Structure 1
Amino acid sequence: MSVYKFCILLLCHWFCFAQENGCDLPVVENGKIAQYYYVFKKFYFPMKEGKKLSLSCAAGYSTQSGKQEEQITCKGVAWEPASLCFKKCIKPSLNHGNVHNPKDSYKFLERAHYSCLEGYVTVSGNQTEEVQCLANGWSSQPECHQISDGCEAPRLYNGHYTTTKRAFHVKEILQYQCDEGYGTPSGRTADETECLLRGWSSVPQCTKQSCKELQPVQNGGFYPVKAMYVDRDVVQFFCTEGYILRDSELIQCYSFGWYPEPPSCEEKSNKCPPPPRPAHIILLTDPAVHRNGDSARYECDYNYMLIGSEEIYCENGRWTAPPSCVELKEKLKCAPPPYVENGEVMLQAEVYYSGDRVNFQCAEGYEIQGSSEIICKMGKWPEPPKCKAKSDFCQIPPPLTNGELIDLPSLSYKNSESVEYRCKSYHLMEGPKTVNCTHGKWTELPTCLEPCTVSVDLMRQRNLELKWSFEMDTYFLHGDMIEFVCKDDLDMSEHPEGLKGMCQRGNIRYPTCSRKDKLNACGPPPLVKNGRVLAPQENYESGSSAVYMCSEHHFLNGSNTVQCSDGDWDHPPTCIEPCVLSKEEMERNQIRLRWSFDNKDYFYHGEYIEFLCIDGHENTSPTIMFSLRAQCSDGQIKYPKCVLRAR
């Protein structure tokens, strides 16, 4: 084989391998990606070459390029740039010293130099020092300490010293212990500090520990490994070769502790294949691979009788013996369907046989509890549903755009119960943070008002420059005023009080520096179906902009901001209608919702809905991945279809 052919085969092998493997779920410390990527990890990952993810750093952290949010791209089997968030380093505030060539903030790996006044020294005891911005902040906190021949023990909260002595000579050691639930800066319960010429080597302090220490994982491990974990820290677990994780791969630290519980590692040999499926038998449990100790339940097709145990178990990688189904010679008759108080059977028959099914409906003012359909099996009806008076319970609280619930949600809430929301970093909350359950409905959600960043392109179009250059990468809160100046040789006479733009929900209303030849103004912005303009005006100067907002549940497609340019408006966005779930279509296609949280009034454009076949029916396209998964598109849902299972 020629060298050329060998190289081609090698490259092909590498490319195919990369395509097959793709990029795994990135581990983001001090940041996050959208939560649904964690929930549906098996669907999204490994992600294909060229796919992008939006990485968002926590408040006070930024990517290596200094941004709060950045897109990372799958290149082969790795993400580029790396999914890392670094602590921002702000300009040191020095007493008794000076920073050389100071900046308002420093990016990862940038350096700063500072010097101390006479009679004061740096952290290392020198007159001048260089510090570097590292992943967790400055390599050493820039400080100037007065030269002294002794130290005084500072006041210690949530802990105590091991001695009553309060004055210490240079080189003496002070030991201290933290109270239960609190820890030292290094994550221990006790620590010590040394008296130096510049003061204490480290300031004694005890801070609250948010989450308990993670125990070592037998036959596995986790990362990142830290002495102390605080609220919102995420930890990823892994197992050594020959072992697999049992339970969630990712856990998160909350104010109440870890959720979910840390997983464990078990031998692969303990895994069982999908449960056996003898003829005329119906598997009632999830057919996915099971682990040691798990069980699978069966029942027979109609007019077949179960012989053996209806439940089998996974034991050391093998299933116990499954039951069999024997055909009955005659159809078994069933008694009339059971009575349901405040309900009735729809479309009654004179005689019922095994395999027949009936549907119940409740009287007005009542709602069904349990499945509305029951099936007669082996001549007997199962327990029917119940009709209960409509309650005041609320379902899972609705999601908040640019915000989240402070605590994990419950499946239902009683009347007058409440939940509390918070907004993302740099987002201002408008409205009450507490939302109440009132007679089955949640009170109005607050609004998280988006921050703004300046656009170089928009400033260029309006002949503007920032008055303060250090604000270029700054986040401006809703309502903040940003100061601008005109570029050279441009008319500023129309703005005697200075050029200012206001941040309004993520958009800056930029002023304009006029040229000598006045440009045409615009009338009202174009109308958008199911949308409106925020703070509309009759006339807009050239260079000014208007912001659109869609009606509730509608999806905004395109930019929410349009600009007036010499009398003409940019092309406006569209507001795409939501989808309404049709119970009639679901019944017609013999399907039901897979997840209870999908039982809601509206689905946004682009949202997915998952379904299951009702009992006794099967998917018409079992080989197609996610064939029982539909997407809301332009207000329409294309429902999947199930048919009666062949006997």
Structure 2
Amino acid sequence: MDFMLYFTVLKVLSSEHRFDLLISVKARGCGPPPEITNGNIAGGSEEQYQHGDRKQYECNMEFKLVGSKEIECVDGQWSPPPSCIEDKMPCESPSSIPNVALHQADQTQFSHGDEVTCGCSDNSKQMKIKCSNGEWKPFPLCADPSPKCELPMGVEFVSSGQHPMSKRRTGFHKVIHYRCTSADKNIKQATCVSGNWTPEIECPAEESVCPPPPQVPGAQQTTVGRNYRHGSKIAFSCANGFRLIGAKEITCIEGKWQSPPQCAERPCLPPQPVEYADTPRLENPNLKIEIEGKSIYLTSAKFKYVCHSGYMLNGPTEITCSMGEWTSAPECLEMSCGRIPKVANAQFEGRTKKTYEPGETIRYQCNAGFLIVGSPEIICREGNWTAPPFCEDVSCGPAPEIPNGHVADNEQERYLPSARVHYQCESNFQMTGGNFVTCLNGEWSQAPVCRDVTCKPPPEIAGGRINIKKTKYLPGETANYDCWQGFKMTGTPTVVCQNGTWTELPKCKGKGGKCGPPPTIENGELLSFRKSEYQQGTTLEYKCPSLYVLKGSQYITCTDGQWSSPPVCLVACTASEEDMDRNNIQLKWSRESKLYSTSGDYIEFDCKAGYVKEQEPSHYRVKCVEGVLDYPRCRLGRSCTVSMDHMESNNIQLQSHQSRTSTYHSGDFILFECKSGYRQVSRAEKFRAQCRDGVITYPTCQKSWFG
């Protein structure tokens, strides 16, 4: 069988503008009635019922029924069934039971669960009983002198032969007066004899009558009457412009009318969602009704739409229910983007426009000397650009200066990555470690070293001497040795200065294995008197003064006319305040004005405040070599001026607690922070920038696009 579903909405105007929703389907039958917990269907159930059929429920023992015990099949649906809940009723006093005596005579009220002791009036037995849901269990049974008579339904007991009792009684032993509750109101008399009434009590059944049928707005009755008895029927029809909702005919059943139909306009089902829009807001909630778990909206109901962030509404902001249909819904279109985000030290490809369509892509390219960090492309999505990259400065400043050398190329203030700068050493200095430096990731590679290749005076030899002695010898210069009288030279008498050292020295041997006077050592002395001749095997001892270090063996021995190699007294180094001031340096790990160090030790220096290093960092760790310190040098650094343009393009500002000055000395720290609405892109330590010889490395922030 085909069923047609009709929806209409009736708008009834009153002082309060009340609206009623009425749903109609062609009358349908019902399946089996629903089961209930702790109860059952009286008389069982069947598989199919007709519209208007009714069924009753009854509860199990110790449960009571809540709600209407009867349900009705209306247009394919059963009305809501009742519930059976646990019945915890109080009990009447056991003393009201015939021939039962209660031991607790002072107790008058008994709740569910109370337990008492009672007995029979003739003291024949005693027992314990318990109140359970309004009944005593076990029920006390005592001998009854005569069986009771039960008062049938439809009959009421009349006290003193005049008035009915307010509380119904059912058990009687003797003569009573009663009357029927039906049309016959005469008071009659009956006697209880051996559990039966004499004469038998009989009352005619009372016929049920329904009140006038309910009024249905917009409908008219096609059947009219005045006296509506059980089984009477009334039919309805709707006026023009309305549809009948429900059964067109209702029946009087046991004094009650079945649910009447209604006449209504057509309602709307829930509207379809709009993509990229928030859940629409119902402007008038009173026009929404829940029917069978579904939302139904009456005529004039309105929904208002709001698009998600990044989308704009195209069309009306509201839709309205009219004759069961919604007016045209809007759509949410993805928004376009505005100007392209500015990236410091970068250019972008393409032409500039006022607006960019969703999905358009812009590509950045960093200026020379800058390295792009992050994706080089940004995309227009939901009205905003994706996060742009930033350009990190990887160029280098002026090339480092080296001692005893100079830059051979034209010097510049700034060099691009991979740039090379070549060096030349001064006269009498030789270059080691290559002759150039390379700019790599903003830093210069290790600079070459110009090493002194002149020679100090040639050393003394045992049994001989130098013909002519100078304080300094240039590369390639020579010196000549002579042996003393009585000594014979082995090796060449001429030595040559090569790369700062002398070629192999000659030796002078005495006759008969004897040795001449021992060699003298600089800054040292013998511990015995000097003689002109020593026997083979003689051993002599040397000593160095305070703050000098003896290098080698302190003893020499005469062997086959030759003395073994004498020791050397290495002089201590003194790092004085005057020398350090002259080179604009200070001790790195000590605050003393003067420091003594033995030969071979290392001393670390740093530039004074406001000065910058002229040499590679390795030059500022100096070794004490025979009393000589090769001091590093620092020069006065150039001051820095904070650029407002750089801060604006990098989306940064000076920290609020920092003094508001625009000029900083070399070595000073400058504290930056992101502007409001921007987030850090550079590492956190970059925001504590240092003025380095007039150069500030600015950190970068970018727009918090998703914040």
TM value normalised by structure 2: 0.22
Which structure ranks higher in relative contact order (CA pairs < 8 Å, sequence separation ≥ 6)? 2
TM value normalised by structure 1: 0.23
